[in-house]
Amino acid sequence: MATEVSTEDAVELTGSSSAYGPDNPAPVIEPPRARTQRSPRATRTNFELYGWLFMRLSGVVLVVLVIGHLLIQLVLDGGVTKVGFAFVAGRWASPFWQGWDLVMLWLAMLHGGNGLRTVINDYAEQPNTRFWLKTLLFTAVAFTIVLGSLVIFTFDPNIR
Amino acid sequence: MPAGTLYRGREGMWSWVAHRVTGVLIFFFLFVHVLDTALVRVSPEDYDKVVSTYKTPVVSLLEYGLVAAILFHALNGLRIIAVDYWTQGPRYQKQMFWSVMVLWVILMAGAVYPVLGHAARVLFGS
């Protein structure tokens, strides 16, 4: 319930605070979560915020790219029956599908990599285990992205 | 086992668990899938040999499972975004979860013939 504050209840400035004014400003108090050189590494940047945002943005794009990919590979035109070297060559003759697969590869690996990083952070309790699992994860993600990109860019339909 | 990883139960928690499990499964498939596709840089024969195993009935069943995991992860992911960004999202998270499940069942029923049709023709002829 909102009631009028009577003049007797109003806070009266007393002591040192009454002395501050334009000519004598109060000392600046640092916000409790201000980031300094001494902040722990994990809270020095907004990395986790951007990671969270990336999961949502890449997720929306991946829904379109991956479901389109599934329709083409597993549903349309005989499903998995038609998939083979000739089919891949036909698709990657078009820069559009090369671009589609490249974006899908990068977004899916980074989305999955960040998801697994969350899972490792949640369940691996020993600092050593966490470090090595994340090192392994980073290596696998980097390797897969580089390999996949190279395959898309250097694909040669006349390899044989 | 880390303590306190089971709590509350119900739609909110189980969708979270299923999102994790399907996400990890899809990640491992993706890793293998990039490796098998990289065989197009080795030779058409090697690529076709590996892809031919994808057309066997057992692997077709695994493909159906993969489609199940991907569709759940996709639909529930959209639900998570709605919970985060739609002002009414948290209030309707249960209804959205059951909408996800209904849509998932319909899509999985629709995927039976396209995904498993090849396996059925291999097993039963014609």
Say which CATH number the domain at A145 has: 1.20.1300.10
Q: Is residue A159 part of a domain?
A: no
Using one digit for the tens of pLDDT, what is the confidence trace for A34-65? 777 777 777 778 889 999 999 999 999 999 99
Structure token digits, residue B107:
């899509």
A133 touches chain B (CB under 8 A): no
Q: Is residue A87 part of a domain?
A: yes
Q: Is residue A13 part of a domain?
A: no
Q: What is the pTM of this model?
A: 0.82
Q: Is residue A96 part of a domain?
A: yes
B76 touches chain A (CB under 8 A): no
| Residue B67 near residue B110, CB atoms below 8 Å | no
- How much is the pLDDT for B126? 60
Q: Is residue A12 part of a domain?
A: no
Q: Is residue A160 part of a domain?
A: no
Of B45, B54, B78, the CB nearest to A80: B54
Q: What is the domain-level CATH number for residue B43?
A: 1.20.1300.10
| DSSP string across A55-107 | HHHHHHHHHHHHHHHHIIIIISTTGGGG-SHHHHHHHHTSHHHHHHHHHHHHH
Rounded to 10 deg, the angle between the A47-70 and B57-85 helix axes is 140
Nearest C-alpha of chain B: how many angstroms from A76? 8
The number of distinct structural domains making up chain A is 1
Q: Which of residues 31-70 of A touch B (CB under 8 A)?
A: 56, 59-60, 62-63, 66-67, 70
The number of distinct structural domains making up chain B is 1
Using one digit for the tens of pLDDT, what is the confidence trace for B92-115? 999 999 999 999 999 999 989 888
A12 touches chain B (CB under 8 A): no
**Integer angstrom CA distances of residue A131 from A125, A135, A145, B77, B107:** 10, 6, 21, 28, 40
Q: Range of A89's domain?
A: 46-154
d(CA A113, CA A142): 10
Q: Do B55 and A85 touch (CB under 8 A)?
A: no
ipTM of the complex: 0.88
Q: Running DSSP on this structure, what letter comes out for residue B55? A: T
Q: Range of B79's domain?
A: 10-124
Tokens 């975004």 locate to B81
Q: Is residue B4 part of a domain?
A: no
A120 touches chain B (CB under 8 A): no
Mean pLDDT of A89-95: 90
